[in-house]
Amino acid sequence: MTREWVALGTVCVLLGSNLFGLIYSMLVLKTNIFKSFRIQSKSYQASIFSKRMPLFVFNFIILISVAGVGSYLIYDSIDTSFIPIWMIGLQILFAFIIDDIWFYFFHRWLHENKFMLKNIHSIHHRATTPFPLEYLYAHPLEWMLGMIGVVIAFALILVVMPINVYALWGFGLLRNLHEIHIHSDLELPGFSKIPFLSKTKHHDDHHSKLAGNYASTFNWMDRIFKTTFKK
Ligand SMILES: [Zn+2]
Ligand SMILES: [Zn+2]
C-alpha cells in the first residue's frame, strides 16, 4: 500500500463516517422515526441545520486536512500489513483510552477556565439539545486542540510498535461514529449494554445541564474524579 493510498483511505473513512452523521442528523431532525428514543422532549429549531452548516464545513475541512496530511507524513511509521485482529483491537482500545484521558482534562479545563468557557467552549454549548453532526460544532481552536489526544495516543503506540493502518482507520471510524451518536439525543437499545462505554445520556446531560460528565468515550474518568453529573 503506497503513501497516497494510506492518506486516501484516511480521508475516505472520515468522509464515510460524516456522511453517516449527515444522514443520521437528517433522520433525527426531519423525521419521527427515532422519536420514542429521544432523551429530551424539546423540539429542534426549524433552521438549526443551516445555521450550523458553515462551522460544520469549516471543521470538517480541518479534520480531513489534518488527518489526510498527517497519515501521509507518518507513512514511514505505519505498518500496512494484515496483523492478527486482536492486535488491531488492542491498538484501537489503547488509542481510545489515551484519547479519552486527554479529552477529559482538556474538556474539564474548558469549563473551569472562565475565559475559555465564555470565548471558546460556549460555541459547542449553543447546542442544549444536540443532534448528531453537532459533534463538529465547536470553536476551531477547541476542535484542533481536541485532536492532540489522538496524536499522543499514536505517538505512544509508536514507541512500542508501528501503527497499523487498519487500527488507524478503525479508530478514526469508531471514534467518529461514537461522537456522532453521543450527540444524537437518542438512547438506542443495545448501546446501553456495552460496559464502561459512555452512553448518549452521559454527554446529553452535559449539554443540557452544563455540569459534569467531561469524558467522551468512557465514563470511568468522571467516576474516578467524581465529576459524574447527578440530578
Ligand atoms: Zn462542555
Ligand atoms: Zn458535545
Cα distance between residue 148 and residue 153, in whole Å = 9
Considering every ligand atom shown, identify the ligand nearest to the alpha carbon of residue 184 and give its number. 2
Residue with cell 452548516: 53
Q: What is the pLDDT of residue 42?
A: 84
Cα(153) to centroid of ligand 1, in Å?
Answer: 22
Residues in the chain: 231
Q: In angstroms, what is the span from residue 27 Cα to ligand 1's centroid?
A: 25
pLDDT digits (tens, 9 = 90+) for 80-102: 988 999 999 999 999 999 999 99
Predicted TM-score of the model (pTM): 0.90
Q: Could you read off the pLDDT of 190-223 as tens digits, one per residue?
A: 776 777 788 888 899 999 888 889 998 988 899 9
Mean pLDDT value across residues 119-124: 96
Cα of 206 from ligand 2 centre, angstroms = 8
> What percentage of residues in the chain have a pLDDT greater than 90?
72
Q: Quick: pLDDT tens for 138-172.
A: 999 999 999 999 999 999 999 999 999 999 999 99
Bigger pLDDT: 132 vs 187: 132
Write down the mean pLDDT value for the chain: 92
Whether the per-residue pLDDT at 231 is higher than 80: the answer is: no
Residue 196: what pLDDT? 74
Ligand found nearest the CA of 206? 1
Distance CA 54, CA 178 (A): 22
pLDDT at 213: 92
Q: At CA 181, angle to CA 142 and CA 9, rounded to 5?
A: 75
Burial of 51 (0-12, 13-18, 19+ CB in 10 A): exposed
- The answer to whether 100 and 152 have CB atoms below 8 angstroms apart is no
Distance 5 CA to ligand 1 centre (A): 36
At residue 75 the predicted structure's pLDDT band, cuts being 50, 70 and 90, is very high
| Closest alpha carbon to 71 in 145, 132, 130, 151 | 151
Residues 10-60: tens digit of each pLDDT: 999 999 999 999 999 999 999 989 888 888 988 888 899 999 999 999 999
**Which ligand sits nearest to residue 106's alpha carbon?**
1
Cα(229) to ligand 1 centroid in Å equals: 12
Report how far ligand 2's centroid is from the alpha carbon of 229 (Å). Answer: 15
- From CA 199, how far away is CA 209, in angstroms rounded? 16
The beta strand positions in 42-143, using DSSP E, are 78-79
